[in-house]
């Protein structure tokens, strides 16, 4: 316990050396000088509070808010001095707001605790005391030997010691970490791979020396030694709050000055009904002025709506459930509903100006299909399970040929050997296992870390070269039914810097061969022979068709070369310092002087309704940026096919720049061209290298070009570059609201950088979903999420916020309930259920989204209108009641005169018609027994609302917004169904988009 307290206070920090030494099974050295290192436990903590710190921490966070701190000060002032209103008027609402907010935040944190406990309490088995011991995940210690069964989740970071396979291998999916759902192969070191029983593992004496934990998922350096012995809305609210604080201070100062001006006459300085005490007569004038100022401050303090924050939080929390309940956002094939991870950004969905989207798995299905390949300078297609040269068919003389020529067979063998594909363990690899007597293959179930690899291996198997599995260090391939075994010597793993992977194998004849595949930019420059020029042309042609391309090459080693390679690889892989750099140098040394075999073209299908969704976003005034790691030609082709780029759009390019000067010159030319051709729409293509140069010295010019383009495509992008692009737009002077959407772990940085992050529940794991604000199953659902839910949320919250600042001030008990119940609950219900336009209309007319863009309903003009309206209504309430009732001496049913209490209640009743306060029952019975009172209530209410109604009617008919036009069309019954509406008015939407006169304030029309 003492150690835990010291760690919490920072006096006993964990060990921070560069490396850590781990004794397997916690078998520490027996000599007395060894002091064990201290490691963190295995508990997962995502919660914010504990039982001990909830009250102080929550109160501290709540009183950091300007409104709450202000009311706390007012409450303390009311307790210290004599004020016109009771301390209850500030204390009770403050207590209510603090309590409700604390309950809401406590409930949400309880849910996080519950989720943590499910993970921390999960049962696991560890090897202790010679047997398997069942314990909980949170009890695992560094050094424990953990047993993980098939399809179980890893409870902790693990090093593979052994598996139930003879070769010590296992296949792991890392979807929860990096989004990759396909299997990856891990192999135990030979010294521990043979320990396949609990008894043997319990006797293991070994030490692991490795680096400290770090954020990089793909980097681990270690060595095992085995002993041979055994918010936009919040900003608007804060701005309005400051303005009302200034108004409050002005009112308090003015009232204090007017009080002393009134008391300048002796008869009013000390009237008979309010005689001063001796202490008041002798007190300092400065202290009296301060006391009076504070008293007026308390009297007028209800101009600051204390219940605003709690009502907004309740509206956001309750309103977020509608997204999960929306059946239009439900994907039946995968049985997935929309998911809300945070309710604080609902209204931001109605303010999005830029959408940044990944391509693979977000716009596409991430399901690869082989389409074409180039072998030895000749293009091939798959026709009925046969590899057919381009221009030939089965009817042509060469179209129905048997077998494969030498170059084709070598190319297909390279495809079948250079990969990380695995075969379902339930399928056997006997000599005739995957082949029938007639020579036709039975289906093999392949798994791979890359969907491209899986598609290529499957295509090779269809045309006659079948990868039948790997056993230990032997890979088996069948070429037209003839088995061949290759010994796997080394795997040169793929990395994003090299952009290629390689394998070194020993052929059945004893030759040492290197097979490598990767991006054409990493293979072609390293090739010294083969049809390099023709293959480059074919790769560009594949890319123009939207295909994902890879180049394939090989190299033969002499015995001397292979011996040198083996020595260098061993030294690099066992180095504890700079291992990655040394491996990169060795890989580059090996992967040179290649002979080019050919290239492949794989298609990734677009998701359903991607084109319609992107077009709808454009109609709504939202600019779409596609950020992808694909090559230039592939990315442009996909952008054209999905509607991101139009065929009539002028495509500008900023690619392949190597220096600042050329990049700057190209940017200036692009800016000049856009200025000259301002009528037509422009699209911009920029690659990762040029983007780095543009952001280094020419950020302003680059932003000017981008903002004048209707669509931007960034290709060859690294994950961190995606986040930088989002940050660039997010922090620009206009401060636009940004949204990022992706499906993989490489999109997480982009998703977290944007104001609103959307995760796609795709095939690349759950990492993007876990780190997003909202999660949807398909890209097409984005339109309803923004155009319907975003539109409704913004309109509702805008009305709620403006309404709270509009409300006025009254008697202490009335005021307390006025702010908490009478006026808060109705607008809360409104802000949850209001649908000013039918959802089908909003989704079918994306142009209506423009009416709420740029915080249109919470700008200064609407705020000023509501404020002036509030002052006007207050004026009418008071003076209207005074003029109508003030001079009448016998209005009440019993003939009594109106008093101040009755007069104030009348003014209050004008605003709140229905009141259920039993303690004020007698006052209301007396008041409402007067016919004149009823007449005054009706007349004053009509007078207050008349100007507001007239203003709305005039604006609606003289200057209607697109939303108001849609409302009038809906009222006339012109919309019979969403489908008919969308079909009948799609042309009108396009005309509105392209006609500058129809949208005079739109910055998106060129």
Q: Which segments of 501-550 does DSSP mark as H helices, in order? A: 520-523, 532-544
Catalytically annotated residue among 144, 178, 202, 358: 358
Dist. CA 311–CA 328, nearest whole Å: 28
Q: Which residues contact 389 (CB under 8 A, 6 or more apart)?
A: 378, 379, 380, 398
Q: Which 8-state DSSP code applies to residue 85?
A: S
Burial 761-788 (b: 16+ CB within 10 A, else e): bbbbbbbbbebbbbbbbbbbbbbbbbbb
The position carrying tokens 């057919």 is 388
Q: Which 8-state DSSP code applies to residue 790?
A: I
Q: Which pair of tokens denotes residue 776? A: 């949807």
Q: Which residues contact 914 (CB under 8 A, 6 or more apart)?
A: none
Angle, alpha carbons 372-373-378 (nearest 5°): 120
- Considering only CA atoms, which of 827, 736, 877, 859 is closest in space to residue 243? 859
Q: Which pair of tokens denotes residue 395? A: 């009817």
Are 913 and 937 within 8 A, CB to CB?
Answer: yes
CA dihedral 924, 928, 929, 934 (to 10 degrees): 170
Q: Which pair of tokens denotes residue 201? A: 């593992």
Instruction: Indicate the SS3 state at residue 635.
Output: helix
- Is 358 catalytic? The answer is yes
Look at the alpha carbons of 140, 141, 142, 145 in this order and tell me if their dihedral is positive or negative: negative
- Considering only CA atoms, which of 979, 781, 788, 978 is closest in space to residue 330? 781
Q: Which pair of tokens denotes residue 306? A: 């204390």
Strands 386-389 and 422-423: unpaired
Dist. CA 971–CA 613, nearest whole Å: 27
Dist. CA 198–CA 132, nearest whole Å: 7
Tally the residues of the chain.
Answer: 1006
Q: Exposed, middle or buried, 704 (CB in 10 Å: 0-12/13-18/19+)?
A: middle
For the chain, the distance separating the N- and C-terminal CA atoms, rounded to the nearest angstrom, is 68
Are 714 and 691 within 8 A, CB to CB?
Answer: yes
Report which secondary-structure segment, H or E, holds 131.
Answer: strand 131-136
- β-sheet bridge partners, residue 759: 742, 775
Q: Which residues contact 723 (CB under 8 A, 6 or more apart)?
A: 749, 750, 752, 753
Dist. CA 687–CA 656, nearest whole Å: 7
Report which secondary-structure segment, H or E, holds 876.
Answer: helix 860-885
- β-sheet bridge partners, residue 1003: none
Look at the alpha carbons of 742, 747, 749, 750 in this order and tell me if their dihedral is positive or negative: negative
DSSP secondary structure string, 978-1001? HHHHHHHHHHHHHHHHH-GGG-TT
Dist. CA 864–CA 973, nearest whole Å: 35
Q: Which residues contact 713 (CB under 8 A, 6 or more apart)?
A: 625, 626, 628, 635, 636, 639, 644, 645, 683, 684, 685, 686
Are 933 and 907 within 8 A, CB to CB?
Answer: no
CA 959 to chain centre: 37
Q: Which pair of tokens denotes residue 31? A: 């000599």
- Active-site residues: which are they? 358
């Amino acid at each position: 316990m003492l150690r835990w307290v010291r760690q919490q206070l920072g006096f006993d920090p964990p060990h921070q050396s560069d490396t850590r030494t781990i004794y397997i099974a916690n078998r520490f050295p027996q000599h007395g000088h060894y002091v064990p290192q201290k490691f963190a436990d295995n508990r997962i903590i995502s919660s914010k509070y504990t039982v001990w710190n909830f009250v102080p921490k929550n109160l501290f966070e709540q009183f950091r808010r300007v409104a709450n701190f202000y009311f706390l000060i007012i409450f303390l002032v009311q307790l210290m001095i004599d004020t016109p209103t009771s301390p209850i008027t500030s204390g009770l609402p403050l207590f209510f707001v603090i309590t409700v907010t604390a309950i809401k935040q406590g409930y949400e944190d309880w849910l996080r605790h519950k989720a943590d406990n499910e993970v921390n309490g999960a049962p696991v088995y560890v090897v202790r005391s010679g047997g398997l011991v069942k314990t909980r995940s949170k009890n695992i210690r560094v050094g424990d030997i953990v047993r993980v069964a098939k399809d179980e989740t890893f409870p902790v970071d693990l090093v593979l010691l052994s598996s139930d396979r003879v070769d010590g291998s296992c296949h792991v999916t890392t979807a929860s970490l990096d989004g990759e759902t396909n299997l990856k192969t891990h192999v135990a070191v030979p010294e521990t791979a043979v320990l396949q029983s609990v008894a043997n593992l319990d006797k293991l004496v070994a030490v692991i020396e490795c680096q400290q934990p770090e954020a990089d998922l793909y980097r681990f350096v270690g060595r095992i030694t085995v002993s041979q012995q055994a918010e936009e809305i919040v900003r608007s609210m804060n701005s309005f709050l400051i303005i009302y604080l200034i108004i409050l201070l002005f009112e308090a100062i003015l009232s204090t000055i007017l009080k002393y001006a009134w008391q300048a006459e002796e008869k009013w300085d000390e009237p008979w009904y309010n005689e001063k005490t001796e202490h008041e007569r002798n007190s300092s004038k400065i202290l009296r002025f301060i006391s009076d100022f504070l008293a007026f401050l308390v009297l007028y303090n209800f101009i600051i709506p204390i219940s605003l924050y709690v009502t907004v939080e309740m509206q956001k929390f309750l309103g977020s459930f509608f997204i999960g309940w929306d059946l239009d956002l439900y994907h039946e094939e995968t049985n997935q509903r929309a998911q809300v991870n945070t309710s604080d950004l609902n209204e931001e969905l109605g303010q999005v100006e830029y959408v940044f989207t990944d391509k693979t798995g977000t716009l596409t299905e991430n399901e690869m299909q082989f389409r074409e390949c180039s072998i030895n300078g000749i293009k091939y297609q798959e026709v009925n399970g046969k590899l057919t040269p381009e221009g030939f068919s089965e009817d042509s003389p060469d179209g129905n040929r048997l077998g494969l020529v030498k170059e084709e067979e070598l190319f297909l063998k390279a495809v079948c050997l250079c990969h990380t594909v695995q075969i379902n363990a339930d399928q056997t690899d006997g000599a005739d296992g995957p082949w029938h007597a007639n020579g036709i293959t039975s289906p093999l179930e392949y798994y791979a870390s890359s969907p491209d690899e899986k598609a290529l291996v499957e295509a090779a198997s269809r045309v006659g070269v079948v990868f039948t599995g790997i056993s230990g260090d032997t890979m088996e391939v069948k070429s037209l039914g003839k088995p061949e075994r290759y010994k796997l010597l080394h795997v040169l793993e793929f990395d994003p810097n090299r952009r290629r992977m390689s394998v070194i194998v020993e052929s059945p004849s004893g030759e040492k061969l290197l097979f490598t595949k990767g991006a054409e930019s990493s293979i072609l420059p390293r090739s010294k022979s083969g049809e390099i020029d023709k293959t480059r042309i074919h790769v560009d042609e594949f890319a123009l068709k939207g295909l994902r391309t890879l180049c394939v090459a090989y190299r033969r080693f002499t015995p001397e070369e292979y011996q040198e390679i083996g020595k260098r690889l061993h030294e690099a892989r066992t180095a504890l310092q700079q291992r990655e750099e040394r491996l990169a140098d060795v890989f580059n040394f090996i992967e040179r002087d290649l002979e080019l075999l050919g290239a492949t073209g794989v298609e990734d299908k677009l998701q359903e309704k991607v084109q319609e969704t992107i077009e709808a976003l454009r109609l709504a005034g939202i600019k779409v940026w596609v950020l992808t790691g694909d090559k230039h030609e592939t990315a442009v082709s996909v952008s054209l096919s999905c509607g991101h780029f139009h065929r009539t759009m002028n495509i500008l390019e900023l690619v392949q720049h190597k220096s600042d000067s050329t990049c700057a010159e190209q940017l200036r030319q692009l800016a000049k061209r856009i200025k000259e051709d301002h009528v037509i729409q422009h699209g911009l293509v920029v690659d990762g290298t040029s983007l780095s140069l543009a952001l280094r010295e020419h950020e302003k010019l680059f932003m000017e070009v981008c903002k004048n383009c209707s669509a931007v495509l960034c290709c060859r992008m690294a994950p961190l570059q995606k986040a930088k692009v989002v940050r660039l737009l997010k922090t620009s002077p206009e401060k636009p609201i940004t949204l990022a959407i992706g499906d993989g772990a490489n999109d997480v940085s982009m998703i977290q950088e944007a104001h609103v992050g959307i995760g796609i529940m795709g095939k690349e794991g759950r990492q993007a979903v876990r780190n997003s604000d909202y999660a949807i199953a398909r890209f097409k659902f984005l339109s309803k999420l923004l155009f319907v839910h975003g539109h409704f949320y913004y309109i509702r919250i805008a009305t709620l916020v403006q309404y709270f600042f509009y409300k006025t001030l009254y008697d202490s008990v009335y005021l307390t309930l006025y702010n908490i119940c009478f006026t808060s609950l109705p607008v809360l219900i409104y802000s949850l259920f209001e649908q000013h336009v039918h959802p089908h209309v909003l989704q079918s007319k994306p142009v209506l989204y423009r009416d709420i863009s740029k915080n249109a309903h919470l700008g200064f003009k609407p705020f000023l209108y509501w404020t002036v309206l509030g002052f006007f209504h207050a004026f009418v309430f008071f003076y209207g009641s005074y003029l109508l009732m003030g001079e009448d001496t016998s209005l009440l049913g019993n003939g009594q005169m109106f008093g101040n209490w009755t007069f104030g209640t009348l003014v209050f009743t004008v605003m709140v018609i229905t009141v259920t306060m039993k303690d004020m029952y007698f006052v209301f019975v007396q008041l409402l027994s007067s016919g004149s009172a009823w007449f005054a209530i009706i007349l004053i209410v009509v007078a207050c609302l008349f100007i507001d109604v007239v203003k709305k009617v005039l604006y609606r008919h003289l200057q209607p917004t697109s939303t108001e036009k849609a409302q009038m069309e809906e009222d006339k019954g012109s919309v019979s169904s969403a489908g008919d509406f969308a079909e009948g008015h799609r042309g009108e939407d396009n005309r509105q988009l392209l006609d500058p006169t129809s949208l005079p304030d739109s910055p998106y029309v060129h």
